[in-house]
Amino acid sequence: MDVEALRERFVGVDFDTAEFRVDPDDALAFAQACGETDPRYTDSSHPEYQAPPTFTACFVSRRTMPESFPKEGFRRAFDGGKCVVIHAPVPVGARLTATSSIAEVFRKTGRSGGMTFIVHRMEFRDDAGELLTTVDWRMVARDEV
């Protein structure tokens, strides 16, 4: 797999846009599941009531990869984790627009052999266009033997 060619062709190119609503019941359930006790996330009467900071990590875009991204070499791929960067509070009830792109493609060699990492990035913005969160999802593909 030519990682450099993948980088040149796909990194930084938006390939999907989706809209999501921050449902109050879902935000509260997420906060409770995380063991959150801060009233900003658990009490709708709190003056700074908002979704928990990592809430947008539960949203999934319609497509995980660009349409023309090669499938060969990714049959044994697995979720390598998520990273959420909070830029501003996420209001409960808000409508968010998320744009997906590939942020990075890189190789590493571990104990089990070579692996290709692909970072799928979703940027969540409110109706005014303000960036609220960035969620990076790492997909890891082991080399096929």
- pLDDT tens readout for residues 34-79: 999 999 999 999 999 999 999 999 999 888 888 888 877 676 788 8
Q: Is the CATH number of domain 3-23+54-142 2.60.40? A: no
Among the residue ranges 70-74, 77-81, 98-102, 113-117, the one predicted with the least confidence is: 70-74
pLDDT at 59: 93
List, as one string, the DSSP characters of 2-63: -HHHHHHHHBT-EEEEEEEE--HHHHHHHHHHTT---HHHH-TTSTT----TTGGGG---S-
pTM of the model: 0.88
Predicted confidence (pLDDT) at residue 145 exceeds the cutoff of 70: no
